[in-house]
Amino acid sequence: MSSGVDAAVAAAELKRRLRRWRVGAVVLFGVAVAAVSAGSRQSGIWNHNSLMRPHLVKIRVNGVIGPDVSRWTKALAKAEKEVAVKGLILDIDSPGGSVTGGEELHDAIEHFSKLKPVVATMSGVGASAGYMIALPARRIYAERSTLTGSIGVIMESPDFSGLLGKIGVNVDELVSGPLKGQPSLVKPISPEGRIMLQGVVSNLFDQFVAMVVSGRHMPEEKVRSLADGRPYTGQQALSLGLIDALGSRDDAVDWLGKVSDLKGEPCVEAIGEAAQRFSFRRRLAGLFGGALMSWLGHDFAEILPQDPIRLDGAVSIWKP
């Protein structure tokens, strides 16, 4: 009798899960169609013919910048070759991230800017590597409350040697040289290792300073006086020469449209979006709320991408 009840309960649970999957599939399809439609309306581009007329392209850099920025650099390389593309809008809301990723994206934007005008607009945050990538722009906009600047480089390494010693775990390392194992998770940084690592950080910092000097046309002495790692509000950054104007994304688009000799409201195409680190899970939750995710069940939510970003080594990021 008990086994029969258990089987009936299991069958009912299976039907309930299948029903959730079916409903979830329908919802996901509808959201996907709506998102594509909304994205097309926002960019002002509906068909292939409209892409053939002069227009602007936009790259959105949102969140932490990882070491892999190829989704943006490839899109930029393609856009700079298209005759119909007249300029680039760099839309930033990022505290920074990987030094390598920031530099690679900076260089790609700089290459684009030598061929076509670029405007950068920063909303909530445009700091550290997020500020670095804005430097090649001909004009940088920010809101009064935008946090920007934070020019600098960080290298962190946790040391678990004290904890391991307390629980009686010893780790032996065999290295080819005294600096090969620096930094290490299982022993403190040696005095020689600290000097070596500080030299790496200082060199990366010098490269960052050189980008600011070149991009903002400022004396190196002034840049170094501002580059102690602190963030600035948009209003402060304007008075210090780190940005060009206070304004919104619309102000930036209007300025670039005029510079690019586009008549009327500029047509804008979003590029580099397909692989952008903006997970479908967050978009779905944003549209319908966390209640839908809970109702669909944890097993359904697990199939949606998480898009983790791993930051190793030196980073240029503002961390409140």
Residue tagged active-site, from 128, 150, 260, 316: 128
128 is catalytic: yes
> Is the peptide bond prior to 191 cis by the omega test (within 30 degrees of 0)?
no
Residue tagged active-site, from 180, 239, 248, 258: 180
180 is catalytic: yes
Which residues are part of the catalytic machinery? 128, 180
